[in-house]
Amino acid sequence: MGPLEGLRVIELAGIGPGPMCAMLLADQGADVIRIDRLEPSGLGLPMAPRFDVAGRGRRSLALDLKRPAGRDALLRLVEGADVLIEGFRPGVAEKLGLGPDDCRARNPRLVYGRMTGYGQRGPLAAAAGHDINYIALSGALGAIGPRAGKPVPPLNLVGDYGGGALYLAFGLMAALFERQRSGQGQVVDAAMVDGAASLMSIFHGLAAAGTWGAPRGENLLDGGAPFYDTYETADGRHVALGALEPKFFAELVARIGLEPGWVKRQYDRAGWPEMRGAIATAIKAKTREQWCALLEGSDACFAPVLALDEAAAHPHAVAREAYLDVGGVTQPAPAPRFSRSRAGPLRAAPEVGAHSDAVLAEAGFSAAQIAELRAAGVVR
């Protein structure tokens, strides 16, 4: 079931964007086989599989890829795969004998997805890093934070998941589409620093046009505009306002009781400090729930700032079935939605090696060969 039913994906276990990309593919029906290390404790944060939301929907084959028999077993799986995802530093897969040339020699139609921070080439290609480093280099981090304050990491959404997982998934789909024409696979070089830079495209345009470039926290979309910011309510919670267009700002002004004259002066930056004070005073007069009752569903471009558990329980999320319970863990449902192709029920992340026998058997290994691999400590 699902639009990606029939797609076979091999995921070399890693952390961050690689697993997230594989989750997106599995959510839409792809058969994702995760190749785990025999002792994977060094990957990510230790947790029971049911809490590993980004690891859901896979099957797990535990192999020792540093041993020839483990490498050969994986290459045998590659022969029947459409996609391989790896997130090693540049050159590591080649040292293992599992680089693009090794894999595509066994399967020329394979799309080989590479996920790194800095890309496969360049002076920083071999350097260690994490989301915060990649978005710093792309200019994204420097644009996020309060006035006169330091840059603030936006969780690890922009580098790992926005600039990494999503761009890798898009690249894989583009390569698979091209394969229909050429009959050939290819390498997808997805770098988080590239993806984060791509996400900043609109801001390069705004800067070139002269409409972006004030200090951090003083621009239209970074909290500098008083009508695009968050405000504290009477009960110490917060709401988010995003009334950018004049007609929406007029609605906001009328509903929260501001002086109507502010509507004509919406984009007069000289008046923004006073406007911010007026909005803050108005919002502080009521609780978050009172503002929800007054503003939610209107054209004032309003939303309460919710915690994770509140987000899952919000009536709009409930109506859209935007969150599901999988193994007792509340988590986001697959996105986006499809009108006809819907994948089956979500499965929690597997135990390491839970599907080793089945996956190897599908690849043509006999029961005796599987037993031999296990006895040799190559498979778990």
Residue 329 lies in a domain: no
* Residue span of the structural domain in which 78 resides: 8-199+346-375
pLDDT score of 285 more than 90:
yes
Q: What pLDDT is recorded for position 1? A: 83
pLDDT, residue 98, reads 98
Q: Determine, yes or no, domain membership for 217.
A: no
- If we measure between CA atoms, which residue out of 250, 242, 223, 240 comes closest to residue 283? 240
In this predicted structure, the answer to whether residue 91 has a pLDDT above a threshold of 90 is yes
Specify whether 13 is located in the same domain as 152.
yes
The region of weakest confidence among 153-167, 185-199, 251-265, 334-348 is 334-348
Among 300, 319, 338, the domain boundary falls at 319
Q: Positive or negative CA dihedral for 256, 260, 264, 268? A: negative
The pLDDT of 335-361, averaged and rounded, is 95
Question: Active-site positions?
Answer: 130, 160
DSSP 8-state assignment for residue 379? B
Can you read off the two tokens belonging to residue 39? 């002792």
Quote the pLDDT of residue 43: 53
Residues 198 and 293: their CA atoms lie apart, in Å, by 38
Same domain, 40 and 146: yes
Residues 252 and 182 in one domain: no
42 pLDDT higher than 60: no
Q: Assess whether 114 and 262 both reside in one domain.
A: no
151: preceding bond cis by omega (within 30 degrees)? no
Q: Would you state the pLDDT for residue 41?
A: 55
Who contacts 15 (Cβ-Cβ below 8 Å, separation ≥6)? 43, 44, 87
- Asked if residue 216 belongs to a domain, the reply is no
* Same domain? 113 vs 244: no
Number of domains in the chain: 2
Helix H or strand E encompassing 35: strand 31-36
Question: Average of pLDDT values for 117-124?
Answer: 97
Mean of pLDDT values over 68-94: 97
Is pLDDT above 80 for 40?
A: no
Of residues 51, 48, 60, 78, the one with CA closest to residue 22? 60
Residue 181 has pLDDT above 90, yes or no: yes
Same domain, residue pair 22 and 112: yes
Q: Report phi then psi at 146, rounded to 5.
A: -80, 165
Segment among 33-47, 182-196, 249-263, 321-335 with least mean pLDDT = 33-47
Same domain, 286 and 164: no
Q: Show Cβ contacts of residue 265 under 8 Å, excluding neighbours closer than 6 positions.
A: 271, 275
Rounded mean pLDDT, 290-303: 98
Same domain, 180 and 293: no
The pLDDT of residue 349 is above 70:
yes
3-state helix, strand, coil in the chain (%, to 5): 40, 15, 45
User: Does one domain contain both 304 and 352?
Assistant: no
Are 172 and 233 in a shared domain? no
Instruction: Quote the pLDDT of residue 129.
Output: 96
Region 138-161 average pLDDT: 96
CA 166 remoteness from chain centre: 6
State the Cα–Cα distance between residues 315 and 299, nearest whole angstrom: 18
Query: pLDDT at residue 234 above 90?
Result: yes
- Say if residue 32 is in the same domain as residue 149: yes
Q: Specify the 3-state DSSP secondary structure of 165.
A: helix
Q: Where are the alpha helices (DSSP H) in the chain?
A: 17-27, 68-78, 92-95, 100-106, 131-137, 166-182, 192-199, 201-208, 246-256, 272-284, 288-295, 308-313, 315-319, 356-362, 367-375
Q: What percent of the chain has pLDDT over 70?
A: 98
Token duo for residue 251: 């609605």
